[in-house]
């Protein structure tokens, strides 16, 4: 009896529009170290090595895209733009679009502590999935996946990437008051902290977010505030 849920992996293939020739690569990309330890799987069969490769493929494809699409941006501006597009919160944002968390093979302990929603895990698995597609189908297939799920809908994603800056500019333009962020909760072990932050204008809450760092939580809070504002104005 297999320890992997084949139905789930087939559903993911359908969702991303790519069918693996070597199913072992997909399973590896979805296998967290906690699951590998629990099931006594070879350490080299979790997603960490393949994530390393996926990270490099993502950097190449996103760099190529930005270079071609922004002929007047300097090297420094391109680097800054790429960093915002492939940082942990941004990749976790993309992973949520395909509900990647539900397909990850996690150990019981990691599952119990909310591992499926943890940005550090979902962003890593997204990179591992890119690495698996690259190994299975080559650069063209990996590029197609990245174009569809990472480099698509960039206007909305740009709102997320630059949410703190955009929110600050809007608040200043409207003269609404002082924008600041309040840490309302800090939880989890030292190596895996979770922060919950509220975005405030003076004493009025306008957004809330969670993340592995205060900076990531603030970004989420700013993004939620922008989405709420857009819904009201829309």
For 185, other C-beta atoms within 10 Å of its C-beta total 11
Helix axes 163-174, 214-233, angle to 10 degrees: 50
Contact residues for 92 (Cβ-Cβ < 8 A; gap 6+): 119, 122, 123, 126
Q: Which helix (H) or strand (E) holds 179?
A: strand 179-187
- From 4, 139, 161, select the one nearest 58 (Cα to Cα): 139
Considering 46, 51, 55, 136, which one is annotated as catalytic?
55
Enter the DSSP assignment of 52: H
Residue with the two structure tokens 């002929």: 71
Q: How many CA atoms lie within 13 A of 206 on its CB side?
A: 29
The answer to whether 13 is a known catalytic residue is no
Backbone angles phi, psi at 218, to 5 degrees: -65, -40
The answer to whether 127 is a known catalytic residue is yes
Contact residues for 217 (Cβ-Cβ < 8 A; gap 6+): 183, 195, 196, 197, 209, 210, 211
Considering 127, 136, 162, 218, which one is annotated as catalytic?
127
- From 23, 35, 29, select the one nearest 49 (Cα to Cα): 29
Indicate which residues carry an active-site annotation: 55, 127
């Amino acid at each position: 009896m297999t320890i992997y849920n084949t139905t789930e992996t087939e559903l993911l293939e359908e969702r991303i529009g790519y069918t693996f020739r070597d199913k072992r690569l997909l399973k590896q990309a979805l296998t967290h170290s906690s699951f590998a330890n629990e099931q006594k799987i070879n350490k080299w069969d979790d997603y960490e090595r393949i994530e390393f490769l996926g990270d490099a493929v993502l950097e190449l494809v996103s760099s190529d895209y930005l270079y071609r699409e922004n002929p007047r941006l300097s090297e420094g501006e391109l680097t800054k733009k790429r960093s915002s597009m492939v940082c942990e919160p941004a990749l976790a944002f993309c992973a949520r679009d395909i509900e990647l968390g539900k397909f990850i093979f996690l150990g019981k302990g990691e599952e119990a502590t909310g591992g499926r929603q943890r940005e550090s895990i979902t962003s890593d698995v997204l990179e591992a999935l890119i690495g698996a597609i690259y190994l299975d189908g080559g650069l063209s297939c990996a590029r197609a996946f990245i174009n569809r799920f990472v480099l698509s809908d960039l206007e909305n994603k740009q709102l997320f990437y630059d949410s703190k800056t955009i929110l600050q500019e809007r608040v200043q333009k409207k003269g609404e008051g002082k924008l600041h962020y309040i840490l309302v909760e800090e939880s989890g072990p030292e190596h895996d902290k979770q922060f919950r932050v509220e975005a405030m204008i003076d004493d009025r809450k306008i957004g809330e977010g969670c993340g592995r760092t205060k900076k990531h939580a603030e970004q989420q809070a700013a993004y939620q505030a922008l989405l709420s504002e857009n819904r009201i104005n829309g």
